A and B are shown apart, each in its own frame.
Chain A
Amino acid sequence: MRIMLKIENMTMKFGGVIAANNFNANIEKGRIVGLIGPNGAGKTTIFNVVTGVYMPTEGRVIFNPDDREHVISGLRPDEIAKLGVCRTFQNIRLFKDLSVLDNVFIGNHLRIESNVFSSILRLPGYIKEEKEILKKSLYLLERVGLLQEKDEKAHSLPYGKQRRLEIARALATNPRLLLLDEPAAGMNPQESRELMQFILDIKDEFDLTIFLIEHHMEVVMGICEEIFVLDHGELIAQGNPEAIQNNQRVVEAYLGVE
Chain B
Amino acid sequence: MRSYLAEFSVISPRSLDEALWALKQRPAPAPIAGGTDLMVLLNAGQLPPGAYLNLHSIPELRRPIEFVNGEACFGALTTYADARRHPEIRKRLPMLCLAAREIGALQIQSRGTWAGNIVNASPAADGVPALMAYDAAVELSSASGVRSVALADFYSGYKQTARRPDELVTAIRIPVPEKEAVQYYRKVGTRKFQAISKVLLAGIMVLGKDRRIKKIRLVYASVMPYTYRARAVEAVLEGRVPDGAAIKAAVAALRSELKPIDDVRSTAAYRLRVACNLLEEFLSASSPSRGEARRG
Q: Do A and B come together as binding partners? A: no
Interface residues of A (CB under 8 A from B): none
Give the A-binding residues of B (Cβ under 8 A). none
